[in-house]
A and B are shown apart, each in its own frame.
Chain A
Amino acid sequence: MTEHYQIAVLGAGPGGYVAALKAAQMGAKTAIIEKHHLGGTCLNYGCIPSKALLASAELIHKIHRAGDYGINVSGGVSFDWTQIQKRKDKVLTKLRGGIKSLFGARKVTLYAGQAAFSGHGKIQITDSKGEKSLITADKVIIATGSVPARIPGWPTDPAFVCTSDESLHWKELPKKLLIVGGGVIGCEFACMMHEYGVEVTIVELMETLLPEMERQVGVAIAEIFSKRGMKIHTGVKVEELKTVHGGIKAILSGDKTVEADKVLVATGRRPATGDLGLESIGLTTDRGFIRVNDRMQTVVKDVYCIGDANGRCLLAHAASAHGVAAVEDALGHGKDFTLPIPGAVYTFPEIGTVGLTSRQAAEKDIPVKVGQFPIGFLGKAMAVGEEEGFVKVIRHRDSGALLGVHVLGHNATEIIESATAMLGLKASAAELAEMVFAHPTLGEAVKEAAEDSFDQALHLPPRSLMKITAEAKEIK
């Protein structure tokens, strides 16, 4: 007596739960299997807890500047880490409950347990007690996500060498923290931990922080962090790491040493597809990633893979979009998924980015024109005292097509939405520049930057001409 479903989803993270709700909305009998908490990495070990902790940190940061606003906070600022954690936990509980009730409302059947294929269309579920049950499904969507990568050869004691899984739920804060990896997770952690009084050092292998993003953004955020007192080492590798009593000691390239209570390894994430019984359906992986086409189809018929597990874009909203694409295809309404996916970094100031970076455009041999506008020039920025950052718009030099928009600034993650919409519609930079943006807002900088890409920004003086003599450096 095995239950049969039209669609079975493995994993209830932002990819899986959205896919399940979509399938149910489209009228399919849907099952979803989750071995831990609903909401996956995003809700439990990623997006949400980090944003909750960052919010408290940002408030501390702002209170330090209260004097700028004419506000006196006598006695300084103190915080209760336990309370901060409790608040974060409450948010998580509420959201998990929200997903559960959505499942109930849409009649999605939730199975608690570890899922594994046992042949085509057959999913075996092992619950926490070890009990096994079997369901069958016409189509299966793999949404099992990813886990933080650890560095082989390093000590594995989570008391000292942590990943984001542990660090978001620390019961106690370290005094000194070494963050290995200057990507999004590393930067967000550095930013918040600094406000909590932790002495932060970031070590990044590439030349700039956030090496995948527009270079100017990485350079700017490094400057901001350095000014605040964080130590940044870029273009440098941790050659060796060992535990010493009470903490760790790291030796960097160039023989620099860093000592800290804890290390946060934020070098990347690897797919969680090892225990899904993929052999029983003949599905092989590429270093754990299950490769798919633009409709999220794997090479095995009726099996899809979405989210981090397919390696296309390790972001929650990408997983959700993939989920919808996969379900639509599974139920006969497929079309290729080609929309642009924005990136968001929740440091303060925030970062929002979508489309090509200058480097990517150069690699594709696309001639560009770049427009830029400093946030600090805006009335709103000055009025609310958030003047850090800039907006950069990259357009195709000849056709005027909008190629990329990169924002560093307060609320950048909200500001980027208008740019993503325009990019998704394949608008030209001229169309973006024509739009009416509300005043006074920070979002206006997007319009100004788009105008600047045509040398037409009204709130910038015309470019001045300067002559310089090039430098000639002998090639040895």
Chain B
Amino acid sequence: MYIISIPPKARGLTEGVMLNWQVSEARSVEKGQLLGRIEAFGQLVDLECPQSGELLKILVGPGKPFYGTQPLAILGQKGEDVEKALKKLFPKAVAKPAPEQKAAPVQSAPQPQQPAKQEVKPMEKKSPAGKVVPILMPQAGQTMEEGTLLSWKVKEGDKITAGQVIFEIETDKATMEVEAMESGNLAKIVVAEGQSVPVKTPVAYLADSAADAEAFIASHGGIAVPAPKTTQAPVPQTDTKQAAPVSQPVSQTSAGQVKASPAARKLASEKGLDITSIGQGSGPGGRILSTDLAGAKPVAYTPAVPGDFVRYPVSKMRKAIAQNLSYSKQNIPHFYIKLTIEAQAIFNLYKQLKQKFPCSVNDFITLACGRTIRQYAAFRSQYTPTEIVENPSVNIGIAVGTDKGLTVPVLLNVDRMTLPQLAAATRQMAENARNGKVEGVGQGVFTITNLGMFGVEEFSAIINPPESAILAVGAIREDIKVENGSIKPTRVMTLSLAADHRMIDGVLAAQFMVTLKDMLEKPEQLVG
């Protein structure tokens, strides 16, 4: 048998880490075959087999470091006794103890609708001497944290046999009988009837004598015996004298943030896990590490995050808007007429004119409204129970949204303006409104409100008292029309009129809209 190592003369290769083995133990290998790869400083080294045979044993596994010509593996012939070689190579080596016997699995109790008697085998721990065996409060169910010992079926000094029911417990879910895992002498009972203890706490000991059991208890640092419960309520206690509850308070920094490493946060966010569901992490001060995420719950979807309500004082503007528009909605009988007009002409004209002076499509609408309102006196009149009041001036309010709220500055005598005049006046007025300077308030007879710049196609507005109507303007949008049996692309815009039926009737409103439509579809009239 042969030791496989890196050749002593390998330049620069004084130590390394086995990255992987390409051949498993007990496999035959040929001369020149790739055995495995080594990571070293500045190099990856493919290690080739020097002679054919069988790879009897790998001594330095993947991820393990080695130094110099340290033996990496043993090569030999099939059937050779590799233990002999190991003894020669490592005469002082002590065999690693076999992994500890895992405790017998507990049958998890099914969740009964009513408390039912279930049988549960307690978890056993083998003591090193083998003579004193603690009997533990079983964990019957993943979420069980403690159980109440209802009654003992045996007493100290009894000989018990494996499988015998020795006590009865109550958890928050069920009452269960507990069987003994081993036969023996029940030397000492340490948890009395009615007592509640955390899961996996010893409740009694099997031993030759009570003295043995007591010595065992003493050598294991004594047992923390919780005070007996006075009631039999199944609700688990939250006293701190019990063992620490399973979920501990989340460790937080003074800023209220959960203490977690950046790697843990990143991993949790990538996997959609809620980092606050972990409780204490295994890092310093309970810091959550990326290795702690195994127990994390997925982030819960909370449809409404109530949070704390914030209270602000009501501004004057808000109060005014609330008052006016509440009055309007409650007292004015609104009705609505919607008309979609062909906007290609106005669009083209706008494009043309804005080269000459700054203007907007809304300016055309305002001017058109101005001229139409001059014609239709009802649209500049106000209904009162006693009389109708007609305003000779066509004063149109333009709704402007500011970050404080809605204001409606008013352009006076729109019907007497030319388009350029109107455009300039609107511009100035909007500017002033945004700076808090609002003119002509209260003098308007009609309001135009335009949400087209947001892409809104149409909407219904609320009449601004003491006015009798309001026009809501939508965006110019592309559409298709049918003309002489053929389909043509075009541009349209939807206008929605809200009118006070006390003042204006349906037919009149319709006529108003048709006039408006005409003017806007043949906008040359506006410029002339």
Which residues of A are interface residues toward B (Cβ below 8 A)?
215-216, 219, 338-339, 358-359, 361-362, 366-370, 372, 397, 399-401, 424-428, 430-431, 460-461, 463-476
Could you say which residues of chain B place their CB within 8 Å of the CB of A424? Answer: 284
- Whether B263 and A428, one on each chain, are in contact in the complex, defined by CB atoms closer than 8 angstroms, is yes
Could you say which residues of chain B place their CB within 8 Å of the CB of A428? Answer: 261, 263, 290
The answer to whether the Cβ of B41 comes within 8 Å of any Cβ in the partner chain is yes
- Whether A463 and B1, one on each chain, are in contact in the complex, defined by CB atoms closer than 8 angstroms, is no
B6 in complex: contacting residue of A430, A471, A476, CB < 8 Å: A471
Could you say which residues of chain A place their CB within 8 Å of the CB of B35? Answer: 470
Which residues of B are interface residues toward A (Cβ below 8 A)?
1-8, 10, 13-15, 17, 32, 35, 39, 41-51, 60-65, 67, 69, 72, 74-75, 85, 88-89, 261-263, 282-284, 287, 289-291
Q: A358-B65, A368-B17 are in contact. List 18 more A-B contacts (CB 8 A).
A: A215-B15, A215-B67, A216-B15, A361-B65, A367-B63, A368-B63, A399-B290, A401-B291, A425-B284, A460-B42, A463-B42, A463-B43, A463-B44, A466-B46, A470-B48, A471-B4, A471-B50, A474-B1
| Closest CB pairs A-B (n = 9) | A367-B63, A358-B65, A472-B2, A471-B7, A397-B63, A426-B283, A472-B50, A467-B46, A372-B41
- The listed residue with most A CB atoms (<10 A of its CB), out of B60, B63, B289, is B63
Bound: A474/B88 CA distance, A? 12
Bound: A370/B47 CA distance, A? 19
Could you say which residues of chain A place their CB within 8 Å of the CB of B62? Answer: 367
Q: Can you name the residue of chain B whose Cβ is closest to the Cβ of A460?
A: B42
- Whether B284 and A430, one on each chain, are in contact in the complex, defined by CB atoms closer than 8 angstroms, is no
Bound: A237/B309 CA distance, A? 79
Q: Can you name the residue of chain A whose Cβ is closest to the Cβ of B69?
A: A471
- Whether B88 and A464, one on each chain, are in contact in the complex, defined by CB atoms closer than 8 angstroms, is no
Q: Can you name the residue of chain A whose Cβ is closest to the Cβ of B72?
A: A470
- Whether A369 and B39, one on each chain, are in contact in the complex, defined by CB atoms closer than 8 angstroms, is yes
Given contacts A426-B287, A475-B85, contact A369 B63 (CB under 8 A): yes
Bound: A215/B16 CA distance, A? 12
Could you say which residues of chain B place their CB within 8 Å of the CB of A466? Answer: 43-46
Could you say which residues of chain B place their CB within 8 Å of the CB of A472? Answer: 2-4, 50-51, 75
- Whether A426 and B284, one on each chain, are in contact in the complex, defined by CB atoms closer than 8 angstroms, is yes
Q: Can you name the residue of chain B whose Cβ is closest to the Cβ of A394?
A: B65
Given contacts A369-B17, A472-B50, contact A430 B65 (CB under 8 A): no
Bound: A466/B40 CA distance, A? 11
Could you say which residues of chain A place their CB within 8 Å of the CB of B72? Answer: 470
- Whether A216 and B14, one on each chain, are in contact in the complex, defined by CB atoms closer than 8 angstroms, is yes
Could you say which residues of chain A place their CB within 8 Å of the CB of B8? Answer: 471
Bound: A359/B3 CA distance, A? 20
Could you say which residues of chain B place their CB within 8 Å of the CB of A361? Answer: 65
- Whether A470 and B5, one on each chain, are in contact in the complex, defined by CB atoms closer than 8 angstroms, is yes
Could you say which residues of chain A place their CB within 8 Å of the CB of B289? Answer: 426
Bound: A359/B60 CA distance, A? 12
Bound: A470/B70 CA distance, A? 12
Bound: A473/B7 CA distance, A? 10
Bound: A359/B89 CA distance, A? 18
Could you say which residues of chain A place their CB within 8 Å of the CB of B74? Answer: 475
Could you say which residues of chain B place their CB within 8 Å of the CB of A463? Answer: 39, 42-44
Query: What is the count of residue pairs linking A and B with beta-carbon distances less than 8 angstroms?
Result: 129
Bound: A222/B345 CA distance, A? 93
The distance from the CB of A395 to the nearest CB of chain B, in whole angstroms, is: 11
Could you say which residues of chain B place their CB within 8 Å of the CB of A400? Answer: 263, 290
- Whether A467 and B1, one on each chain, are in contact in the complex, defined by CB atoms closer than 8 angstroms, is no
Could you say which residues of chain A place their CB within 8 Å of the CB of B47? Answer: 468-470
Could you say which residues of chain A place their CB within 8 Å of the CB of B65? Answer: 358-359, 361-362, 368, 370
The distance from the CB of B268 to the nearest CB of chain A, in whole angstroms, is: 14
Could you say which residues of chain B place their CB within 8 Å of the CB of A219? Answer: 14
Q: Can you name the residue of chain B whose Cβ is closest to the Cβ of A457?
A: B42
List, sorted by A's number, 13 A–B pairs whose CB atoms are closer than 8 Å: A358-B15, A362-B64, A362-B65, A367-B63, A370-B65, A463-B42, A463-B43, A466-B45, A467-B46, A468-B13, A468-B45, A469-B47, A472-B50
- Whether A474 and B7, one on each chain, are in contact in the complex, defined by CB atoms closer than 8 angstroms, is no
- Whether A468 and B2, one on each chain, are in contact in the complex, defined by CB atoms closer than 8 angstroms, is no
Q: Can you name the residue of chain B whose Cβ is closest to the Cβ of A401?
A: B291
- Whether B7 and A469, one on each chain, are in contact in the complex, defined by CB atoms closer than 8 angstroms, is yes
Could you say which residues of chain B place their CB within 8 Å of the CB of A372? Answer: 41
Q: Can you name the residue of chain A whose Cβ is closest to the Cβ of B82?
A: A475
Bound: A219/B42 CA distance, A? 19
Could you say which residues of chain B place their CB within 8 Å of the CB of A399? Answer: 290-291
The distance from the CB of A138 to the nearest CB of chain B, in whole angstroms, is: 23
B48 in complex: contacting residue of A359, A362, A425, A469, CB < 8 Å: A469
The distance from the CB of B404 to the nearest CB of chain A, in whole angstroms, is: 45
The distance from the CB of A256 to the nearest CB of chain B, in whole angstroms, is: 23
- Whether A475 and B284, one on each chain, are in contact in the complex, defined by CB atoms closer than 8 angstroms, is no
Could you say which residues of chain A place their CB within 8 Å of the CB of B4? Answer: 470-472
Q: Can you name the residue of chain A whose Cβ is closest to the Cβ of B291?
A: A399
Given contacts A215-B67, A369-B17, A475-B1, contact A470 B49 (CB under 8 A): yes
The distance from the CB of B218 to the nearest CB of chain A, in whole angstroms, is: 13
Bound: A359/B63 CA distance, A? 12
Q: Can you name the residue of chain A whose Cβ is closest to the Cβ of B37?
A: A465
- Whether A425 and B283, one on each chain, are in contact in the complex, defined by CB atoms closer than 8 angstroms, is yes
Could you say which residues of chain B place their CB within 8 Å of the CB of A468? Answer: 6-7, 10, 13, 45-48
Bound: A216/B65 CA distance, A? 12
The distance from the CB of A246 to the nearest CB of chain B, in whole angstroms, is: 41
Could you say which residues of chain A place their CB within 8 Å of the CB of B5? Answer: 470-471, 473
Could you say which residues of chain B place their CB within 8 Å of the CB of A366? Answer: 63
Bound: A438/B63 CA distance, A? 32
Bound: A366/B62 CA distance, A? 10
Q: Can you name the residue of chain A whose Cβ is closest to the Cβ of B45?
A: A466
The distance from the CB of B295 to the nearest CB of chain A, in whole angstroms, is: 16
- Whether B88 and A475, one on each chain, are in contact in the complex, defined by CB atoms closer than 8 angstroms, is yes
- Whether A427 and B261, one on each chain, are in contact in the complex, defined by CB atoms closer than 8 angstroms, is yes
Q: Can you name the residue of chain B whose Cβ is closest to the Cβ of A370?
A: B17
The distance from the CB of A371 to the nearest CB of chain B, in whole angstroms, is: 9
- Whether A470 and B287, one on each chain, are in contact in the complex, defined by CB atoms closer than 8 angstroms, is no
Bound: A165/B261 CA distance, A? 45
The distance from the CB of B28 to the nearest CB of chain A, in whole angstroms, is: 15
Q: Can you name the residue of chain B whose Cβ is closest to the Cβ of A426?
A: B283
- Whether A431 and B287, one on each chain, are in contact in the complex, defined by CB atoms closer than 8 angstroms, is no
Could you say which residues of chain A place their CB within 8 Å of the CB of B263? Answer: 400, 427-428, 430-431
Bound: A367/B32 CA distance, A? 27
Bound: A464/B47 CA distance, A? 14
Given contacts A372-B41, A475-B2, contact A467 B75 (CB under 8 A): no
Bound: A367/B42 CA distance, A? 20
Bound: A475/B56 CA distance, A? 13
Could you say which residues of chain A place their CB within 8 Å of the CB of B45? Answer: 465-468
- Whether A475 and B10, one on each chain, are in contact in the complex, defined by CB atoms closer than 8 angstroms, is no
- Whether B261 and A431, one on each chain, are in contact in the complex, defined by CB atoms closer than 8 angstroms, is yes
Q: Can you name the residue of chain A whose Cβ is closest to the Cβ of B18?
A: A367
Q: Can you name the residue of chain B whose Cβ is closest to the Cβ of A215?
A: B67
Q: Can you name the residue of chain A whose Cβ is closest to the Cβ of B17?
A: A370
The distance from the CB of A361 to the nearest CB of chain B, in whole angstroms, is: 7
The distance from the CB of A272 to the nearest CB of chain B, in whole angstroms, is: 30
Bound: A366/B63 CA distance, A? 8
Bound: A216/B292 CA distance, A? 33
Bound: A372/B43 CA distance, A? 11
Could you say which residues of chain A place their CB within 8 Å of the CB of B42? Answer: 460-461, 463-464
Could you say which residues of chain A place their CB within 8 Å of the CB of B6? Answer: 468, 470-471
Could you say which residues of chain A place their CB within 8 Å of the CB of B49? Answer: 469-470
Could you say which residues of chain A place their CB within 8 Å of the CB of B13? Answer: 468
- The listed residue with most B CB atoms (<10 A of its CB), out of A216, A362, A476, is A362
Bound: A469/B2 CA distance, A? 14
Q: Can you name the residue of chain A whose Cβ is closest to the Cβ of B264?
A: A428
The distance from the CB of B229 to the nearest CB of chain A, in whole angstroms, is: 29
Bound: A458/B138 CA distance, A? 55
Q: Can you name the residue of chain A whose Cβ is closest to the Cβ of B1?
A: A475
Bound: A215/B15 CA distance, A? 10
Could you say which residues of chain A place their CB within 8 Å of the CB of B75? Answer: 472
- The listed residue with most B CB atoms (<10 A of its CB), out of A424, A427, A473, is A473
The distance from the CB of A362 to the nearest CB of chain B, in whole angstroms, is: 5
Bound: A369/B62 CA distance, A? 10
The distance from the CB of B25 to the nearest CB of chain A, in whole angstroms, is: 16
